[in-house]
Amino acid sequence: MQIIACIKQVPDTAEVRIDRETNTLIREGVPSIINPFDLNAVEEGLLLKERFGGTVTVISMGPPQVETALREALSLGVDQAVLLCDRAFAGADTLATSYTLAAGIKKIGAFDLILCGKQAIDGDTAQVGPEIAEWLDIPHLTYVRSIDEVFPAEPARASITVSRLVEGGYEQASASLPALLTVVREVNEPRLPSYRASLRARTQGITIWGVADLSADPEHIGIAGSPTRVSRIFVPEYDRQGQFFAGSPEDQAKALVAALRSAGLA
């Protein structure tokens, strides 16, 4: 199987803190990581490769420092890494990002499966996956929690069967290949880098493509290709100035039950 995993480098939002004086993000020392869900996508690609053979290619769009993320993916054992890097790609919203990634994927060549994370933890949009599928005119399935069956060999009827996490339970669904899946955390447990792969990753080349390398329409990339615009950014106020109940556990419980009853909630 020819598998492509889309990975994004993101600031580790777990490390992001707010400076309450200036109401800004404190980013000092905030590490950049591979989006956690994308590690699940890479892992799933590697597992499929172990079962069916083929290659796993990771692709990312971003600034030059994303090379670190790609090198980390190489140290997990992926075969090839592609970085779409050009100032002209900057300012992309999900529509332009998905267009650019789709253009990169077309240039990589034939594929059976594209894997994306459920969402990226910086923007949490969960849009880039389905949008890539639309640009490439292939089917997609979101929130995949397990890949149950794969029939990669029958070119005309190649398909994949999955279980998806939806409201209230799990949906079993299938898609013809090539297809795009977005995966949730419980799909697998990402492996750690292997010593051999890490050694190899150090010297392995990373393919870098700019705008001139992709047959991309300038109208669809970067800021020009982005219909949405961030007009304001602000820090939410979590402080509700709530009320503490006093006394023993029994007293506090009584006070709460009374409050809930008067709100019609108990």
Partner 1 sequence: MSSMKLFPDKCDGCEECVSSCPYNAVTMRDGWPVFGDACNLCGACAEACPSGAIERPAATASPAVDKTSYRDIWVFAEIRDGRPARVVLELLGEGRKLADQTGQNLYAVLVGYGLGTLPEELIAYGADRVFLAEHPALAVFRDEPYAAVLAAAVNQYRPSILLFGATATGRSLAPRLAARLRTGLTADCTGLDMDRDSGDLVQTRPAFGGNIMATIITPGRRPQMATVRPGVLKPLQRDDHPGARFSGRGEVVRLTISDDLLTARTMVLGFTAEETETVNLEEASIIVAGGRGLGSAGNFALVKELAGLLGGAVGASRAVVDEGWISYAHQIGQTGKTVAPRLYIACGISGAVQHLAGMQGAEIIVAINKNSEAPIFKAATFGLVGDVVQILKELVGQLKTG
Ligand X SMILES: Nc1ncnc2c1ncn2[C@@H]1O[C@H](COP(=O)(O)O)[C@@H](O)[C@H]1O
Q: Which is nearer to ligand X, 132 or 158 (CB)?
A: 132
Check binding of 60 to ligand X (CB under 6 A): yes
Report in angstroms the alpha-carbon separations of 192 from 120, 124, 251.
20, 25, 50
Check binding of 117 to ligand FAD (CB under 6 A): no
Check binding of 16 to ligand FAD (CB under 6 A): no
- CA 87 to centroid of chain Cα atoms: 22
Nearest to 102 by CA among 128, 64, 81, 72: 128
Binding ligand X by CB under 6 A: which of 45, 72, 77, 129? 129
What is the spatial distance between Cα 60 and Cα 108, in angstroms, rounded to a whole number?
Answer: 12
Q: Which is nearer to ligand FAD, 36 or 178 (CB)?
A: 36
**Paired tokens of 253:** 């419980």
Number of residues in contact with ligand X under rule CB under 6 A: 24
Check binding of 139 to ligand X (CB under 6 A): no
Is the alpha carbon torsion for 175, 179, 185, 189 positive or negative? positive
Check binding of 34 to ligand X (CB under 6 A): no
Q: How far does the chain reach from its first CA to its final CA, in angstroms?
A: 56
Using omega within 30 degrees of 0 as the cis cutoff, is the peptide bond preceding 178 cis?
yes
Name the segment binding ligand X (CB under 6 A); options: 1-9, 71-79, 200-208, 239-247.
Answer: 1-9
Binding partner 1 by CB under 8 A: which of 77, 104, 139, 190? 139
Check binding of 121 to ligand FAD (CB under 6 A): yes
Helix H or strand E segment including 50: helix 36-52
Chain length of the chain: 266
Residue entry with tokens 């200036």: 22
Binding partner 1 by CB under 8 A: which of 50, 51, 68, 186? 186
Check binding of 209 to ligand X (CB under 6 A): no
Residue 32 beta carbon to ligand FAD: minimum distance, rounded to whole angstroms: 13
Check binding of 123 to ligand X (CB under 6 A): yes
Check binding of 91 to partner 1 (CB under 8 A): yes
Check binding of 91 to ligand X (CB under 6 A): no
